[in-house]
């Protein structure tokens, strides 16, 4: 148990450090597997009661998957860029293809954890057995005693059955586990095919060469790191100036004093500038030159959000 908890803490640490999409999705999947194992060991406890088994079994699979999906949507930067875009500029500048691409990106990234949870739950089979044991037809079991019905079948996951029904419990459990694992493997196959087709479609429809797309990914990563680092320093220096103005002095450590001396901050950026660099960005070119982000576009002084005679929208969203 301690090792499992430590594994999940290591996952969280890597989760917040990783920026690469494939590594990110892999870490989400691994973290979900560990969480599902922890849930099965600690929390899962089939009620073994008619009508309750079905609800509990489906809830054990569906509710965590739904929660993980919503968390994935919340943690996706595209979600809040879309919210900012709708709030500031609306979606009039986006075509149907661009809108579909954006929502597909958000939904796809958010689906990694819930699909992993569902697959692991189905492969383990415990929730599926709990949910459907009472629905097994007694007539499908050879020489099943006629005096027993759904109430006894509902107790099979808990092994709380008469001795003469032990072999039937093992047969029902084996049958339901087979069905559960079959659905799990089918889900894995379907998801793998969809991922393959999506990757093929993305690269076939991409207006960028492989090297330019790799450069764009590097640029986005570096811009985000430098922006966050600079914003942290800028806000610290601005806060120090305001605190000094209020108290007459400010208590800074050696590193902070060096920052204040090295980077003089005169003021803050006006709201129009923040609005210009915030929101959804789809790859565009201006007079044949690429614009890799809203910040890049603002720095070049390009006006407007939609395609213009000088600018061409290529409908390619950053992954």
**How high is the pLDDT of residue 28?**
61
For residue 198, is pLDDT > 80?
yes
Domain boundaries, the chain: 34-205, 210-300
For residue 96, is pLDDT > 70?
no
Query: Please, which pLDDT band fits residue 207 given cuts at 50, 70 and 90?
Result: confident
- Identify the H or E element spanning 284: strand 282-286
Q: Of how many residues is the chain composed?
A: 319
pTM: 0.69
Asked if 20 and 318 touch (Cβ cutoff 8 Å), the reply is: no
* Cα–Cα distance for residue pair 235/252, rounded to 1 Å: 14
Query: Please, which pLDDT band fits residue 224 given cuts at 50, 70 and 90?
Result: very high
Query: Of residues 161 and 228, which shows the higher confidence score?
Result: 228
CA 171 to chain CA centroid, nearest Å: 38
For residue 1, is pLDDT > 70?
no
For residue 172, is pLDDT > 50?
yes
pLDDT in tens, 120-141: 889 988 899 999 988 888 877 8
Which residues lie closer than 8 Å to 119 by C-beta, 6 or more apart? 184, 187, 188, 191
In the numeric block, the tokens 């889900």 are attached to: 187
């Amino acid at each position: 148990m301690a090792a499992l908890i430590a594994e999940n803490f290591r996952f969280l640490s890597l989760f917040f450090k990783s920026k690469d999409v494939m590594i990110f999705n892999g870490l989400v999947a691994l973290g979900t597997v560990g969480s599902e194992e922890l849930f099965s060991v600690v929390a899962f406890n089939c009620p073994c009661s008619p009508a309750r088994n079905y609800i509990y079994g489906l809830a054990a699979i569906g509710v965590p998957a739904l929660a993980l999906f919503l968390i994935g949507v919340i943690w996706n930067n595209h979600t809040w860029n879309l919210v900012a875009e709708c709030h500031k500029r609306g979606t009039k500048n986006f075509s149907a293809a661009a809108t579909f691409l954006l929502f597909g990106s958000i939904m796809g990234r958010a689906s990694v954890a819930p699909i992993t949870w569902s697959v692991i739950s189905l492969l383990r089979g415990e929730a599926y057995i709990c949910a459907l044991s009472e629905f097994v037809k007694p007539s499908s079991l050879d020489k099943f005693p006629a005096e027993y019905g759904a109430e006894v079948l509902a107790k099979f996951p808990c092994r709380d059955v008469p001795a003469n029904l032990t072999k039937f419990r093992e047969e029902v459990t084996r049958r339901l586990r087979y069905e559960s694992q079959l659905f799990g493997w089918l889900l894995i196959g379907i998801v793998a095919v969809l991922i393959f087709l999506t990757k093929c479609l993305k690269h076939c429809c991409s207006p960028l060469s492989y090297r330019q797309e790799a450069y764009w990914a590097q640029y986005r990563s570096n811009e985000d790191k430098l922006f966050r680092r600079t914003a942290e320093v800028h806000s610290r220096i601005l806060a120090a100036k305001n605190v000094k103005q209020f108290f007459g002095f400010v208590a800074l450590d050696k590193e902070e004093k060096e920052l204040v001396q090295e980077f003089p901050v005169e003021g803050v950026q006006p709201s129009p500038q923040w609005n210009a660099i915030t929101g959804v960005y789809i790859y565009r070119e201006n007079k044949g030159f690429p614009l890799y982000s809203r910040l890049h576009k603002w720095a070049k002084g390009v006006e407007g959000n939609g395609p213009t005679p000088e600018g061409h929208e290529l409908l390619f969203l950053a992954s």
